[in-house]
Chain A
Amino acid sequence: MKAICWMGVNQVSVEDVPEPEILSSRDAIVRVTASSVCGSDLHLIDGYLPGMREGDVLGHEFTGEVVEVGSDVRKVRPGDRVVVGSFVGCGGCHYCQEELWSLCDNTNPQPLLQEKLWGHAIGGVYGYTHATGGFPGSHAELIRVPFADNNAFPVPDGLSDEQVVFASDALPTGWMGAEMCNLWPGSVVAVWGCGAVGQAAIRAAYLLGAERVIAIDRLPERLTMTARHTGAQTLNYEEADVLEALREATGGRGPDACIEAVGMEAHSTGLQHAYDRTKQALRLHTERGATLRQAILACRKGGTVSIIGVFGGYLDKMPIGAAMNKALTFRMGQQHGQRYIPMLLDRIARGEIDLRYLATHSLPLEDGPWGYEMFKHKQDGCVRAVFHPAA
């Protein structure tokens, strides 16, 4: 079958790969109908996360149709259309049973790197390095979904692939980012990053009671899109002093909650960006943390910083003094998708959430390299390229 593969740093191509097979009685094989690029793929493509191997199939945000199930699969049948979360949950460990699915104890069978780097390993992810399980990704005609009863969720009738594909990863991630802020009516939220995850977080923040959301990015077209589709105020950090602007926009208080939806390859301005970029290139630190530093400095006293952008290692110049003395609450984590996906699909079916506009480029699988190129360099207003292998 055809699949979009990582063939080296900054090398993506469409290759022929063997088809997946049922390996366990709890597996399902899903024919992928839509599979989206994700900002976190860029960390892999750029070579910032270790454990990729030439020939790995990319992609972890997808929807499709079940074509085969193992003998112990009960909740989905061949022919069902399903959304699958990006993290594989075993369903049997303490974390899965506590609905902390991305912390699954069992689905990363190669945990040593994470154990060394982080103290403990988290769950496995499709198409996301051998240090995170090494499960083949979703930019392919077929994908094996382990523990299908826990990880594949039927799509309500009448919804299109474009309507539901982001319920796999970007939407639950954004939802979790907003939920972690403990919002109440009257909350003011600032969101760094107007990619799909950031915009999903904005939509979620409004649904969870935020009164005002301020969105921060540098790309005019993304800011315009965000303002039009979510109703958030926007702030271009290349044109304004973010800290100053946020202070003024909130009567001097600062936002009640700050959501970081950018991660380890944050852009910033001037000296700080040059400093972070140089240290990252020299591997003196692994993260560029301008957005996180800003979020901490901007957040009101006693407020919450919610981190959903992906970080991998170490960050320096962390303003821990500001965080401590202002009594900030930190919440963060990879998405516990299985906890949110059914609820989010219902909300999509009710019309409360519609993220179709984020899929700026619908492409056949063969256009994978081009899709990633556009996405990475934000060309042609690309927010998300979504591949349709079955097309």
Chain B
Amino acid sequence: MEFEGLVVEEEARWSGDGAARQAARGLGWLSLGLGAVQLAAPRGVSRLAGVDDSAVARVAVRLVGVRELVQAAGLLSGRRPAEWIWMRVAGDVLDVSALGWALNARRGGRRLRAGFASAALVGIAAVDLMTAARVARSRAVTAGGRTMRLERSVTINRPVSEVFSFWRDFTNLPRFMTHLDRVEVLDERHSHWVAKAPMGHVAWDAEIIAEEQDRMIAWRAIGAPGVPNAGQVTFAAAPGGRGTEVRVRLAYRPPGGAVGVALARLAGREPDQQVREDLRRLKQVLECGEVIAVDERVSARGPMQRRVTRVLRRRLATGGRP
């Protein structure tokens, strides 16, 4: 699987279009049903709504039926799903106000039926509104979001099969991805990732979406990760018998768009730098069996200078992260 193909697929998911289309389809069938009933049996509908005493109401019911069918066509078309859902909400507002006005002018059994019908309409309106809000929210997470991409590689002086196997056993990842606390393998394709965060932990699930032995692993975060992301790692023999070229490609949607990216950079949490460090440590683990340790205690520094020195060492290692 080519990485660009994977990114295009993921972007469709991240932009929220997938979820919106699915929600729109459900509401589309609802519209179709309502519209069909209103057109086929306008008298029955009028009676149910307690407005069967008015010739105008029967015409109105037919018009509403036509509107529902137009909306159904739009919702089921799969185009601009979020906008069509908002159209339904607008229609609901119109219907509830019309029926409310009609209810005020009725007494007795009709008033009672108009009341039930209004309640049902409010219920449908609530469902529409919640769906519209949910779709809007899932788009907002990545709204205006640009997909960020990065690519980093490292040459490791070990055979391809060894490097591949090490990576494929995801429980090894925290040995060189220091922001991870642990990775639990759930089944052949799914794993649960737990990362250290300033307050406790952040967890998400990952799914392998493509894999070729000794050549490539591609994955994506599933569920609702804070940062939608997908990645691919490829393994290739380095020329001249120099081991394995490991190349990581990531695509992700940082929350908050360009501002979010700038803030993350300020906080030293730039994924590009993170990946470079991770690959450097992967190389150390595979070539030396360990991450290189330096005894920072052996110095004539006081506690304050120790802290400042630790910051300097981090900067020299990571390029700015505190």
Q: How close is B292's CB to chain A, nearest CB, in angstroms? A: 5
In the complex, which residues of chain A have a beta carbon less than 8 angstroms from the beta carbon of B292? 90, 106-107, 109, 124, 146
Interface residues of A in 119-133 (CB under 8 A from B): 124, 130-131, 133
Contact stretch, chosen from B34-42, B104-112, B117-125, B281-289 = B281-289
Interface residues of A in 67-123 (CB under 8 A from B): 90-94, 97, 105-107, 109-113
Decide: B284 and A136 in contact? CB cutoff 8 A: no
Decide: A147 and B316 in contact? CB cutoff 8 A: no
Docked CA distance A90–B291 (Å): 11
Contact of A24 with B299 at beta-carbon distance under 8 Å, contacts A112-B318, A130-B316 already known: no
Docked CA distance A19–B295 (Å): 10
Docked CA distance A147–B298 (Å): 18
B293 contacts chain A at the CB level, 8 A cutoff? yes
Docked CA distance A259–B200 (Å): 58
B300 contacts chain A at the CB level, 8 A cutoff? yes
A333 contacts chain B at the CB level, 8 A cutoff? no
Contact of A5 with B299 at beta-carbon distance under 8 Å, contacts A23-B293, A92-B287, A93-B287 already known: yes
Decide: A106 and B284 in contact? CB cutoff 8 A: yes
Decide: A92 and B298 in contact? CB cutoff 8 A: no
Q: How close is B14's CB to chain A, nearest CB, in angstroms? A: 32
Decide: A57 and B298 in contact? CB cutoff 8 A: yes
Interface 0/1 of B287-307, CB less than 8 Å to A: 111111111111111100100
Other-chain contact of B290, A3, A20, A24 (Cβ < 8 Å): A24
Docked CA distance A54–B308 (Å): 10
Query: What is the number of residues of chain A that contact chain B, defined by CB distance less than 8 Å?
Result: 44
Decide: B288 and A147 in contact? CB cutoff 8 A: yes
In the complex, which residues of chain B have a beta carbon less than 8 angstroms from the beta carbon of A106? 283-284, 287-288, 292
Contact of A91 with B317 at beta-carbon distance under 8 Å, contacts A5-B299, A5-B300, A16-B300 already known: no
Interface of A is mostly: loop
A283 contacts chain B at the CB level, 8 A cutoff? no
Docked CA distance A147–B157 (Å): 17
B100 contacts chain A at the CB level, 8 A cutoff? no
B319 contacts chain A at the CB level, 8 A cutoff? yes
B161 contacts chain A at the CB level, 8 A cutoff? no
Docked CA distance A97–B308 (Å): 36
Decide: B300 and A53 in contact? CB cutoff 8 A: no
Docked CA distance A144–B297 (Å): 12
Contact of A109 with B243 at beta-carbon distance under 8 Å, contacts A51-B316, A92-B288 already known: no
The 25 sampled A-B contact pairs (Cβ below 8 Å) are A5-B300, A16-B300, A23-B295, A51-B316, A54-B300, A54-B301, A57-B298, A92-B157, A92-B288, A92-B289, A93-B287, A93-B288, A94-B243, A105-B283, A106-B288, A109-B280, A109-B284, A109-B317, A110-B313, A110-B317, A131-B316, A134-B313, A136-B299, A146-B292, A147-B288
Excluding A55-B300, A93-B157, 11 further A-B contacts by CB distance (< 8 Å) are A17-B298, A17-B300, A26-B289, A26-B290, A53-B308, A53-B312, A55-B305, A106-B284, A112-B317, A124-B292, A146-B293
